[in-house]
Amino acid sequence: MTRRRVLVALGTLAVVLAELGRRVKRRYGRPPRRPPTSALVPEGAADVKIATPHGPVLRGWLLEATPPSGVAGPSGPAALVVHGWGGSAADMLPVSAPLLDAGLHVLLLDTRCHGRSDQAVFTSMPTFANDIRDALDWLRQQPQVDPARIVLVGHSVGAGACLIVAAGDPEIAAVVSLASMADPRQFMADLLRQRLPRPLTALALRYVEHVIGHRFTEFSPIHTIGRVNAPILLLHGQRDTTVPISDAHRLHAQAPDHTTLLILPEADHNSVEELPGASPALLSFLHDTGVVSAPRHVPG
């Protein structure tokens, strides 16, 4: 092949990759921004703003649990709750009820590009994890929170991000994962094959890794879950067609011994409102891990 033909081929490849990159970033770089479900702070919650060293200002709602005696006492346990892709703190409000009933303060977080938090060029499971770390730093400084008894609770991509954080933070007390995927690379590949010619799928996946700044093997839950020291509760809906229940079984197979898998028969991927139905198992899990000293009565 002549030098000219090589240059033409390289130029054509560069154009194809640039267009491929634009398509991937436009379609998968960040979700469509939904208006917040409500601009109002939920009753009894504090409106939170968290300035981060990474740039975006994160927003959230902090709901404080009432001590059993009704009188303020020493610092208590807390849960940092994170939505999934395209979600928001408002979507996770149903999750706060059983956690508050268990005696945990609850921080409902909007990650960047979601809810009321700042926009960014792109977001991903690793940037979700960065936002969780920043919110965790803030939560640990609150006087009513015991920093040794913080539980990470995440849904979908947020669940995967919680596993990333917990894998690198031995101070996390426990993790509750709602509908986490096992392997984001496989998940992305299945989506890309619906929109791109098959030969371009591998290139698109490499570009996604380039944009994210991490290889899939560095942050995939199937790899991070085995490095988590904290107890883990895996919750997954039997009717989940977005992330199949087989992902939950794959994660459980790779998880440490201190991991519990609970299947919710009536739940699909977005059924976070089903968590209150799992309250007895959740309370038992929090008690067994030492996050709460004794199970509380669950209303209803």
Global pTM reads 0.84
Contacting residues for 69 by C-beta, under 8 A, at least 6 apart: none
Sign of CA dihedral 211, 137, 165, 177: negative
CATH 3.40.50.2300 describes domain 43-183+220-288 = no
Distance CA 103, CA 79 (A): 10
Kindly indicate the confidence band of residue 121, based on its pLDDT and cuts at 50, 70 and 90.
confident
202-249: per-residue pLDDT in tens? 777 777 777 777 787 888 999 999 999 999 999 999 999 999 999 999
Q: Of the given ranges (66-75, 123-132, 271-280), which has the lowest mean pLDDT?
A: 66-75
Kindly indicate the confidence band of residue 42, based on its pLDDT and cuts at 50, 70 and 90.
confident
Distance CA 292, CA 283 (A): 8
Which runs of consecutive H residues, i.e. helices, occur in the chain? 3-28, 93-101, 125-140, 157-168, 184-192, 198-212, 216-219, 221-224, 245-254, 279-288
Percent with pLDDT over 70 in the chain: 80
Distance CA 197, CA 21 (A): 14
Distance CA 119, CA 54 (A): 12
Residue of 242, 233, 250 lying closest to 270 (CA atoms): 242
* DSSP character string of 203-226: HHHHHHHHHHTS-HHHH-HHHHGG
Place of tokens 């039997």: 238
Sign of CA dihedral 169, 31, 244, 23: negative
pLDDT of amino acid 32? 59
Kindly indicate the confidence band of residue 299, based on its pLDDT and cuts at 50, 70 and 90.
very low
Distance CA 214, CA 283 (A): 36
pLDDT of amino acid 4? 58
149-205: per-residue pLDDT in tens? 999 999 999 999 999 999 999 999 999 999 999 997 777 777 767 767 777 777 777
